[in-house]
Amino acid sequence: MSQYRTFTAADAVEYARQFGGVANPHTLVDSQEVGDGNLNLVFKIFDTAGVSRVIVKQALPYVRCVGESWPLTLDRARLEAEVLIEHGKFCPQHTVNILHYDPDLAVMVMEDLSDHAIWRSELVNGVEYPQAAGQLGEYLAQTLFHTSDFFQHPYQKKADVIRFTNPELCDITEELFFNEPYEIHERNAYPRALEPLAESLRDDEALRLAVGGLKHRFYCHAEALLHGDVHSGSIFVAEGCLKVIDAEFGFYGPMGFDIGSALGNLLISYCAAPGLLAPREAAAARENRLNDVREVWLSFSESFLALAAEKSRDRALAVPGYSREFLRKVWSDTIGYCGTELIRRTVGMSQVADIKNIKDEAMRVECVRQAIILGRSLILLADHVADPEALIARIRQNS
Ligand code: ADP
Ligand code: MG
Ligand code: MG
Ligand code: MG
């Protein structure tokens, strides 16, 4: 049994030689810690030609961006590796490949995606990947369907609910998504000029009720093994390719949470575009984000319905029409969780580059204002938006 120690750059190289599955392991000679992340160490391991060949990721016993004052379970490395391995069984084309992991060292070795780019960075720079939204919808359909009660044996599903119970990381989501933005809280990070708007969220009883419902379903609707953090910073893209990484928030939860997180980040990008790009590029980017929102949902729902028709193993859930009815509830959840993502990224602590990179202060405040107002109306209207066209009409009305 290995004992936990925080890896040095040399430890990471040694570990990659052992477990990286590289043909000539002695050619791995160097490493660099590249984690821009808020939580973990990420090492790129280079060969003698200076090419990055494999990734070593290790969890620290605390939240990296805060420090040792915020301890956090090392079990998240096991959870991340096991979620990615499970999703990889059903959607290998869009899930980063995990080569090895060790729960005691809280470390994993994975496929190097250095020839891809993080989707958020590309969106910030106005670089388009026309196939990404459809691929993301396909990833969501494959992973969510195959880990659900439609497909899993009831014993296996219940065992997996236990295996993927993730109280500490869920607690972070529960606080940051559903509590703090709707309270006076020191971690909130909205611009001072928007205090009246933030106050109006705190005072909005209908909004607080709807958010309570979303949080309650996050707690107890064990519909599928979620990624738990599907934002554009957890997605690598290249021409014609998309791969999802960073699943340490995974657990059994409501499908709409993953889909809504994805859509929420596309809509953050939509709101931020005028602050990041020249007017004509911004207008085009906004149209592309609306098309992405439609495409993620259509691709997800078409694939999900096809999988349900072909592969549902549960006889009652396989009754014709049931999967379509179920997706209506997933759609409402998706819109609600999308709204909470917009608000937690603007009012709450987890701010994103799309907003932070807007240089003009007044413009930044305007983009944030728009995102908050859009988030609020999506949460309030979640049960009353018929389909993606109605959603898009609603978004246009808002801006
Ligand atoms: P955290 O859990 O701390 O957020 P991430 O898994 O998001 O860590 O990784 C942080 C950064 O490390 C990514 O944004 C990316 O730049 C780099 N990275 C992570 N995984 C890979 C990979 N498989 N290939 C290449 N770079 C990676
Ligand atoms: Mg990350
Ligand atoms: Mg709590
Ligand atoms: Mg992470």
What are phi and psi for residue 224, nearest 5 degrees?
Answer: -160, 165
Average pLDDT rounded to a whole number, residues 213-230: 98
Q: Categorize the per-residue pLDDT at 399 as very low, low, confident or very high, splitting at 50, 70 and 90.
A: confident
Binding site feature residues for substrate: 229, 344
- Taking the CA of residue 39 as reference, the ligand 1 atom at the shortest distance is 3
Q: Categorize the per-residue pLDDT at 67 as very low, low, confident or very high, splitting at 50, 70 and 90.
A: confident
Q: Which protein residue has the closest C-alpha to ligand 1 atom 11?
A: 35
- Taking the CA of residue 248 as reference, the ligand 1 atom at the shortest distance is 2
Count CB-CB contacts under 10 A for residue 191. Answer: 18
Supply the pLDDT for residue 51.
96
Supply the pLDDT for residue 1.
66
CA distance 160 to 267: 32
Q: Which CATH number fits domain 117-398: 1.10.1740.110, 3.50.50.60, 3.30.70.1450, 3.90.1200.10?
A: 3.90.1200.10
Calculate the average pLDDT of the chain.
Answer: 97
What pLDDT digit, counting tens, does each position of 134-192 carry?
A: 999 999 999 999 999 999 999 999 999 999 999 999 999 999 999 999 999 999 999 99
CA distance 191 to 347: 8
In the reported structure, the alpha carbon of residue 361 is separated from the centroid of ligand 1 by a whole-number distance in angstroms of 29
Q: First-to-last CA distance in the chain?
A: 57
Top mutation candidate among 83, 118, 245, 265 for ligand 1, by most atoms within 8 Å of CB = 245
Residues having C-beta closer than 5 Å to ion ligand 4: 39, 246, 248
Ligand that comes closest to the CA of residue 59: 1
In the reported structure, the alpha carbon of residue 246 is separated from the centroid of ligand 1 by a whole-number distance in angstroms of 7
In the reported structure, the alpha carbon of residue 228 is separated from the centroid of ligand 4 by a whole-number distance in angstroms of 10
Binding site feature residues: 40, 57, 111-113, 229, 246-248, 344
Please determine, for residue 37, whether its predicted confidence score (pLDDT) is greater than 90: no
Please determine, for residue 18, whether its predicted confidence score (pLDDT) is greater than 70: yes
Say what percent of the chain tops pLDDT 70: 99
> What are the residue ranges of helices labelled H in 40-124?
75-90, 119-124
Domain ranges of the chain: 9-111, 117-398
What pLDDT digit, counting tens, does each position of 350-398 carry?
A: 999 999 999 999 999 999 999 999 999 999 999 999 999 999 999 999 8
Residues in contact with ligand 1 by the CB-under-6-Å rule are 34-40, 42, 55, 96, 110-114, 118, 234, 245-246, 248
CA distance 293 to 389: 10
Top mutation candidate among 31, 39, 42, 118 for ligand 1, by most atoms within 8 Å of CB = 42
What pLDDT digit, counting tens, does each position of 239-292 carry?
A: 999 999 999 999 999 999 999 999 999 999 999 999 999 999 999 999 999 999
- Taking the CA of residue 42 as reference, the ligand 1 atom at the shortest distance is 12
Q: Which protein residue has the closest C-alpha to ligand 1 atom 27?
A: 113
Please determine, for residue 45, whether its predicted confidence score (pLDDT) is greater than 70: yes
CA distance 141 to 149: 14
- Taking the CA of residue 64 as reference, the ligand 1 atom at the shortest distance is 3
Average pLDDT rounded to a whole number, residues 294-317: 98
CATH number of 9-111: 3.30.200.20
Ligand that comes closest to the CA of residue 228: 4
CA distance 278 to 249: 36
In the reported structure, the alpha carbon of residue 35 is separated from the centroid of ligand 2 by a whole-number distance in angstroms of 8
In terms of C-beta density within 10 A (0-12 exposed, 13-18 middle, 19 or more buried), how is residue 375 classed? buried
> What are the residue ranges of helices labelled H in 41-194?
75-90, 119-124, 132-146, 154-163, 167-178
Helix or strand (DSSP H, E) at 242 = strand 241-244
| Of the candidates 72, 20, 7, the residue with the CA atom closest to the CA atom of residue 46 | 20
Binding site feature residues for ATP: 40, 57, 111-113, 246-248
Residues having C-beta closer than 5 Å to ion ligand 3: 171
What pLDDT digit, counting tens, does each position of 92-145 carry?
A: 999 999 999 999 999 999 999 999 999 999 999 999 999 999 999 999 999 999
Q: Which protein residue has the closest C-alpha to ligand 1 atom 1?
A: 37
Please determine, for residue 235, whether its predicted confidence score (pLDDT) is greater than 80: yes
Supply the pLDDT for residue 99.
98
Q: With 0.90 as the threshold, say if the pTM is over it.
A: yes
